[in-house]
Structure 1
Amino acid sequence: MNFGKAIEKLKSSKKVARKGWNGKGIFIELQVPDEYSKMTHPYIYIDTTELVTDNPDAPKDRVPWLASQTDMLAEDWEVVE
Structure 2
Amino acid sequence: MNFSEALNLIKEGKRVSRSGWNGKNMFLYLVKGSEFIVNRPPLLGIYPEGTKTKYHAHIDMKTSQGYCVPWVPSQSDLLSEDWEIVE
Identity of aligned residues (%): 44
Question: What pairs with 1:1-81 in structure 2 (closer than 5 Å)?
Answer: 1-36=1-36, 39-48=54-63, 51=64, 59-81=65-87
Largest Rg, 1 or 2:
2
Q: Deviations over 1:16-60 (max 9, x none)?
A: 000000022000111002344865211001102xx3xxxxxxx43
Bigger shift: 10-19 or 39-48? Answer: 39-48
What's the secondary structure of 1:46's corresponding residue?
Answer: strand
Unaligned runs of 5+ in 2: 38-52
Using the size of structure 1 for normalisation, the TM-score is 0.79
CA-atom RMSD in angstroms: 1.7
Using the size of structure 2 for normalisation, the TM-score is 0.74
The count of aligned residue pairs is 72
